[in-house]
């Protein structure tokens, strides 16, 4: 222990009375004291009054008409000292003065005395890197503050187990069991010590407040009232906070929370005086994802796949060493890893044989450049079944994949149209062409020219209308083609 407290051998009131009874020798006449039994009005003539010049530690503090005014301040200050051990108190002296016109200013002198008459009590300063940061009533309390600061991030049982292990000088630790954790160290980020100091009683914090002050850098929380149109991200940004920081300040709040107008949000910018560093080991049973391997088969049509073996995840036992800073993970490393069960790869057989009449399973862009002038969806009160492509580099229309032409001719609102069956569950339709270059029953390869873009049928301009069907159902072409 850096210091000890001795039993008080006098009571506070005796100390104050003794100080108030001190005298200054002046040739002008006798001095009145704070505890004098003489009447404040003794020896006064009918034409004069007595005022008192008040000195605190030899420095003039003001004039009063009655010493009881000063005595009340002394009593209040003594009461504020409460249970603390008084280390020092100012010496108060009075000089009486007979005056015909009093210049005493009681209110002003009272305020001055409240500032200059400061009783100091014994306290324990918590010193961080050589600088006193906060004060508590004793070193024992200071020790409890540091312990409680650590307990914000570890449990009592963990701390006791760690202290017992250190006391026994145990150096070799047994391997962790599955999903087991243990504390390796709890330390503070900066050097800390305790010193006895004499300070004003009002500067002494309770144990709880001292912990909060060291942890957050403040005892006062700053609140923001949610306004219309506010979002959590913007509130955080406006107050110099990151999203995760504002979520930590407001337990129960998430990035997806719906804010209510008038709701109070904690936006205190935390600047801790010291941080608690926690090192621990933890074991986790984890899954090892399986991988998918593809095996080519030249006897199967291109685009055709078949799962030859289902995949299965493996398992492993991993021990991590984790460092946390004020509860936030700052470092994580693997210290041991053991495979419990190897994963089983998923095997997929993929056909590579190209059949002119069978699609490969992927679609090529059906025009030479161009842009999408209209997407699939409802327009003008009815469903637009495909996409429109306009303004190509040239007007050649190409087969999106291998297949067999099942229709080539007039198709009412489609004008000149072509339908290709790709023999793999997909069909494509090409509409509004000015001319056709293939016939029904003809086999075409991906990229083959099948016609020329036009504006036949129900068309408002030169473009290609392109539709895709999967197993007979209309699907959005944009899921299958990319320019």
- Residue pLDDT, tens place only, 246-289: 888 888 888 888 899 999 999 887 789 999 999 999 999 999 99
Question: Which element (helix H / strand E) includes 467?
Answer: strand 464-470
Q: Of 266, 292, 309, which residue is a domain's last?
A: 266
Kindly report which listed range (28-32, 295-299, 409-413, 420-424) carries the lowest average pLDDT score. Answer: 28-32
Q: What mean pLDDT is predicted for residues 114-125?
A: 91
Residue 285, in any domain of the structure: yes
Q: What's the total number of domains in the chain? A: 4
CA distances from 280 to 146, 323, 353 (A): 19, 7, 57
Question: Which element (helix H / strand E) includes 113?
Answer: helix 106-116
Q: Of 326, 353, 380, which residue is a domain's last?
A: 353
Residue 200, in any domain of the structure: yes
Does pLDDT of 6 surpass 70?
A: no
**Residue 132: CATH number of its domain:** 3.10.350.10
Question: Which element (helix H / strand E) includes 105?
Answer: none
* pLDDT on residue 189: 94
**Residue 339: CATH number of its domain:** 2.20.230.10
Q: Tell which wins on pLDDT, 116 or 430.
A: 430
* pLDDT on residue 220: 73
Q: Which pTM was predicted?
A: 0.56
Q: pLDDT-based confidence at 434, cuts 50/70/90? A: very high
Q: pLDDT-based confidence at 341, cuts 50/70/90? A: very high
Domain that holds residue 435: 367-479
pLDDT digits (tens, 9 = 90+) for 344-386: 999 999 988 888 888 888 899 999 999 999 999 998 889 999 9
Percentage of the residues of the chain whose pLDDT score is greater than 90: 62
**Residue 474: CATH number of its domain:** 2.70.70.10
Does pLDDT of 333 surpass 70?
A: yes
Q: How far apart are CA 361 and CA 305, in angstroms?
A: 10
Residue 85, in any domain of the structure: yes
pLDDT digits (tens, 9 = 90+) for 350-359: 988 888 888 8
> Kind of pairing, strands 346-353 and 292-301?
parallel
Q: What mean pLDDT is predicted for residues 229-245?
A: 88
* pLDDT on residue 168: 86
Q: How far apart are CA 475 and CA 483, in angstroms?
A: 18
Question: Which element (helix H / strand E) includes 367?
Answer: strand 367-368
Q: pLDDT-based confidence at 47, cuts 50/70/90? A: low
Residue 360, in any domain of the structure: no
Q: What mean pLDDT is predicted for residues 113-121?
A: 90
Q: How far apart are CA 332 and CA 432, in angstroms?
A: 62
Specify whether 133 is located in the same domain as 260. yes
Q: Of 296, 329, 353, which residue is a domain's last?
A: 353
Q: Which of 30-34, 60-64, 333-337 has the highest mean pLDDT?
A: 333-337
pLDDT digits (tens, 9 = 90+) for 75-94: 888 888 888 888 988 999 99
In whole numbers, what is the pLDDT of the chain averaged over residues? 86
């Amino acid at each position: 222990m850096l210091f000890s407290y001795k039993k008080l051998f006098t009571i506070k009131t005796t100390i104050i009375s003794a100080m108030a009874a001190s005298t200054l020798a002046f040739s002008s006449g006798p001095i009145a004291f704070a505890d004098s039994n003489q009447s404040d009005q003794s020896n006064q003539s009918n034409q004069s009054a007595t005022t008192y010049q008040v000195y605190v530690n030899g420095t003039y503090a003001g004039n009063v008409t009655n010493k009881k005014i000063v005595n009340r301040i002394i009593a209040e200050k003594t009461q504020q000292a409460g249970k603390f051990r008084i280390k020092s108190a100012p010496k108060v002296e009075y000089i009486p003065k007979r005056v015909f016109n009093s210049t005493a200013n009681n209110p002003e002198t009272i305020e001055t005395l409240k500032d200059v008459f400061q009783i100091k009590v014994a306290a324990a300063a918590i010193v961080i890197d050589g600088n006193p940061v906060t004060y508590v009533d004793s070193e024992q309390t200071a020790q409890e503050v540091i312990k409680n600061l650590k307990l914000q991030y570890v449990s009592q049982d963990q701390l006791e187990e760690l202290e017992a292990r250190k006391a026994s000088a145990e150096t070799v630790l047994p391997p962790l069991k599955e999903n087991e954790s243990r504390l390796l160290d709890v330390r503070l980020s900066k050097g800390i010590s305790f010193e006895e100091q004499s300070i004003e009683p009002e500067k002494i914090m309770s144990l709880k407040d001292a912990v909060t002050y060291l942890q957050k850098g403040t005892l006062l929380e700053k609140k923001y009232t949610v306004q219309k149109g506010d979002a959590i991200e913007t509130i955080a940004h406006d107050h110099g906070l990151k999203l995760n920081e504002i979520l930590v300040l407001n337990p129960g709040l998430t990035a997806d929370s719906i804010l209510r107008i008038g709701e109070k949000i904690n936006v205190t910018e935390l600047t801790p005086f010291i941080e608690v560093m926690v090192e621990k080991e933890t074991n986790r049973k984890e899954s090892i994802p399986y991988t998918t391997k593809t095996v080519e088969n030249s006897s199967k049509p291109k685009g055709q796949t078949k799962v030859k073996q289902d995949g299965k995840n493996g398992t492993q036992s991993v021990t991590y060493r984790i460092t946390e800073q004020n509860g936030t993970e700052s470092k994580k490393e693997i210290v041991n890893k053991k495979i419990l069960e190897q994963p089983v790869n998923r095997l997929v057989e993929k056909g590579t044989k190209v059949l002119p009449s069978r699609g490969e399973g992927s679609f090529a862009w059906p025009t030479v450049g161009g842009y999408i002038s209209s997407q699939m969806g409802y327009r003008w009160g009815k469903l637009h079944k495909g996409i429109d492509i306009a303004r190509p580099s040239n007007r050649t229309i190409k087969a999106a994949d291998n297949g067999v032409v099942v229709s080539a001719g007039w198709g009412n609102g489609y004008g000149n149209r072509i339908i290709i069956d790709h023999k793999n569950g997909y069909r494509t339709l090409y509409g509004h062409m000015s001319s056709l270059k293939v016939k029904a029953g003809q086999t075409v390869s991906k990229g083959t020219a099948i016609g020329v873009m036009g504006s036949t049928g129900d068309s408002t301009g030169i473009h290609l209308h392109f539709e895709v069907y999967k197993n007979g159902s209309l699907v959005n072409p944009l899921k299958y083609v990319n320019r």
